[in-house]
Amino acid sequence: MSIREWLGIGSPRDAPKKALPEITDNVRDSGGVFVFGMSNAGENVDERSALQIATVYACVRLLAESVASLPLHLYRFTESGSGKERATDHPLYKLLYRQPNPEMTSFSWREAAMMHLLLWGNSYSQIIRDGKNGILGLYPLLPENVEVDRNDAGEIYYIYHAYTDETPGENNRDIYFKREEILHIPGLGFNGLVGFSPIAMMKNTLGTTLAVEKYGSSFFRNGAQPSGVLEHPGVLKDPQKIRDNWAAVYGGANNAHKVAVLEENMHYKPISLPPEDSQFLSTREFGVEEICRIFRVPPHMVQDLKRATFSNIEHQSIDFVQHTLMPWLTRIEQAIIKDVLVGEEQDEYFPKFNVDGLLRGDYQSRMNGYAVGFSNGFLSPNDIRRLENMDLIPAEEGGDDYYLNGSYVKLRDAGIGYGQNAEAMREKKGAGKPDEDSKGDERPSSDDAPEHSDESDSVATEPSKDNDHAKRHKQRRDSRRGKDPGKDSR
């Protein structure tokens, strides 16, 4: 193809368009790269055998129950666009928060969906709608029975291999669903459409753990004794019979430490290494860390407390919410918007998990945070009481009021008040400075004097009358004491 043809130059505008090539992309290729099966350790690994590993079961249960226990509400944007409110009148609100179908609760549905994501890498739920495209229910589908493909037009569709015990009336047949009929939550995958299974991807790591578990079981089944060789000086006609008799009498934990009786000059020689030499316990501990690393779960949350302290457990728990749960929650929220909400609803409604309860610190840390929020005006008393699940204070008593420290000013306004006060003081001192000749005389001038001058004069003469009265009183007192009242005056 020339560059002119590639750019579409040279062909008439009304020329017939070439037919689109047939789409051969299969979305199943994303998850088909990693399949369940035999690991390098010789153990068959699938979703059911992996759950028999205690750490895998603990991680899957922790993540599934944590997501299922979080409140999930449907919100709508307010008319102003700056806030949100619960959309309790929407049919999806009840399905997400309380009961997605008549057979299970919201907790059970989300727990199953999360378990499917952790084991198979995908979660599928059938969407039941009415004639007006309103949603009526959500039913989970087992991922191992679902296939995803494209038709010739490039549209995605789903094939569900139904069984008799799952769908009444559908006996061992394939059911085809359109894309809008399935709520699909994909996990990590190459094409972003279908996720691959973490169990299948990590089957070698899990297979090693299964082999270690099997080794430990075999060790205790054989009486917690290392295997060995029975030596016979002659030729045995039926060695299998002797081996079976030995295992029947001395094998198993119930037969441990029994006294062995050897006949015909036979000898027992152990040939295996003891478990401590093959680092059996260390291998099991490393398996716990590897599985926690796969699911990104802090070891202390699956009861591995070797490196846990009182000072770091709280921060590890918060880190678990932020870096482990939040990606899963975001996947679920955005998948609901994409597949369940239709048309303009996607611009008006949105689901949201509430993780505030998991992010709370200890009591003292919460109280200190509330104090900062209250004093800075972004938390009201009722906001704090809602976070602590307490009864609200009536609005007329100030429960919804916001308070702020009045001494706070903007950074650009810092010092303006001080400068204005200093300038006002200088102006006041300059205007009220007395003359040197009339120092101490602070009486107002004739221009500023009040209209009733006689009143001001009477007020001004009152101090002199008080002084004359005091002098006469002093003279009478001195005369009574026999003193000459004229001496002081002279």
What is the C-alpha separation between 366 and 357, in angstroms, rounded?
A: 11
pLDDT 10s digits, 213-250: 777 776 666 655 556 777 777 777 777 777 777 777 76
Question: Which residue's entry shows tokens 């001192």?
Answer: 429
Cross-strand bridge partners of residue 157: 149, 178
Q: What's the number of CA atoms in the CB half-sphere (13 Å) around residue 173? A: 7
Q: Is the pLDDT at 427 greater than 50, yes or no?
A: yes
pLDDT 10s digits, 111-134: 999 999 999 999 999 999 988 888
pLDDT for 18 equals: 47
Q: Cβ–Cβ contacts within 10 Å for residue 233, how many?
A: 8
Which residues fall within 8 angstroms of residue 142, CB to CB, at 6 or more apart?
A: 116, 166
Give one word for 116, left, alpha or beta, with left for phi > 0 and alpha for psi -120 to 50. Answer: alpha
Q: How far is CA 269 from CA 30, 256, 257, in A?
A: 53, 17, 16
Which residues fall within 8 angstroms of residue 360, CB to CB, at 6 or more apart?
A: 366, 387
Q: Is the pLDDT at 82 greater than 80, yes or no?
A: no
Give strand ranges (E) for 310-376: 349-353
What is the C-alpha separation between 24 and 359, in angstroms, rounded?
A: 46
Which residues fall within 8 angstroms of residue 218, CB to CB, at 6 or more apart?
A: none
pLDDT mean over 459-469: 52
Cross-strand bridge partners of residue 267: 231
- DSSP SS3 for 424: helix
pLDDT 10s digits, 366-416: 888 888 888 888 899 999 888 887 889 998 898 999 988 777 667 677 667
pTM passes above 0.85? no
Triad 49, 208, 222: Cα angle to 5°: 85
Q: How far is CA 396 from CA 193, 385, 391, 392, 401, in A?
A: 53, 16, 15, 12, 9
State the chain's mean pLDDT as an integer.
76
What is the C-alpha separation between 376 and 381, in angstroms, rounded?
A: 12
pLDDT 10s digits, 279-321: 666 667 777 888 999 999 988 888 777 766 666 777 778 888 8
Name the helix (H) or strand (E) containing 384.
Answer: helix 381-387
Q: What percent of the chain has pLDDT over 90?
A: 27
What is the C-alpha separation between 485 and 479, in angstroms, rounded?
A: 6
For residue 286, the one-letter residue type is F
pLDDT confidence band for 169 (50 / 70 / 90): low
pLDDT mean over 47-76: 92
Kindly give the residue spans of alpha helices, DSSP state H, lying in 11-148: 29-32, 47-50, 54-69, 91-97, 106-120
What is the C-alpha separation between 27 and 465, in angstroms, rounded?
A: 113
List the chain domain ranges.
26-222+274-354, 228-271, 360-423
